[in-house]
A = this chain, B = another copy of it.
């Protein structure tokens, strides 16, 4: 999402704020950085968004939703259980390859202000998601599967194996001596590995 001179000022501010906040976090970001990135003056930021905090919250809420969008889409789909899982792994991996800083941004800010995030999550369609989780869970338990793992643990395994390597990339690359291309290959290769492991260890009734 590159900042384009064709965009309206408001859109340019939003794009710039996304870039700077996701890169530096709330505490590390400077209003001047955002203004520079947007190609406007600092004062104009305050004209559109009263404070740094307000601007940040708009961005954060959008990014938090972004992180769960694929999950919601998959939960709503009509695919059979195994296909739901495969499809989610595929889509989420691709999203994170394109925006690798998304999860570390959301997670660090979540640690900085867990109460705010908890309140936010409650305003999102979290009950709806829970309902769909239940449905998903029922599908898994009804199918011809091994029923081995509590449902929460299954979800945590899935999210962990998809998201963590991206979050830990700055450690993994030097530790394993990988360059960008090696790492991208590793991530691509993971898709089928994660799928295999998850479908061998499906949820059972809680």
Instruction: Give the number of times this chain occurs in the complex, counting copies.
Output: 2
Contact of A171 among B25, B28, B121, B164 (CB under 8 A): B121
Interface flag for A96 (CB, 8 Å): no
Interface flag for A184 (CB, 8 Å): no
Interface flag for A153 (CB, 8 Å): yes
Interface flag for A11 (CB, 8 Å): no
Q: Contacts of A160 on B, CB cut-off 8 Å?
A: 160-161, 163-165, 168
**Given A107-B167, A108-B104, A201-B197: A189 touches B150 (CB 8 Å cut-off):** yes
Min CB distance, A156 to chain B, in Å? 5
Interface flag for A79 (CB, 8 Å): no
Contact A190 B153 (CB under 8 A): yes
Contact B107 A153 (CB under 8 A): no
Interface flag for A193 (CB, 8 Å): yes
Contact A174 B122 (CB under 8 A): yes
Contact of A110 among B24, B25, B170 (CB under 8 A): B170
Interface flag for A200 (CB, 8 Å): yes
Interface flag for A152 (CB, 8 Å): yes
Count of chain A residues near B, Cβ 8 A: 51
Interface flag for A59 (CB, 8 Å): no
Beta-carbon contacts under 8 Å, A111-129 to B: 111-112, 114, 117-118, 121-122, 126, 129
**Given A117-B170, A170-B110: A159 touches B153 (CB 8 Å cut-off):** no
Q: Contacts of A121 on B, CB cut-off 8 Å?
A: 171, 174-175
Contact B149 A156 (CB under 8 A): no
Known: A160-B164, A161-B161. 14 other contacts (CB 8 A): A26-B28, A104-B108, A107-B171, A110-B170, A129-B175, A130-B177, A149-B193, A150-B189, A152-B176, A156-B172, A157-B161, A160-B168, A163-B164, A163-B168
The 9 closest A-B pairs by CB, nearest first: A160-B164, A27-B28, A110-B170, A164-B164, A27-B27, A108-B108, A114-B170, A160-B160, A118-B174
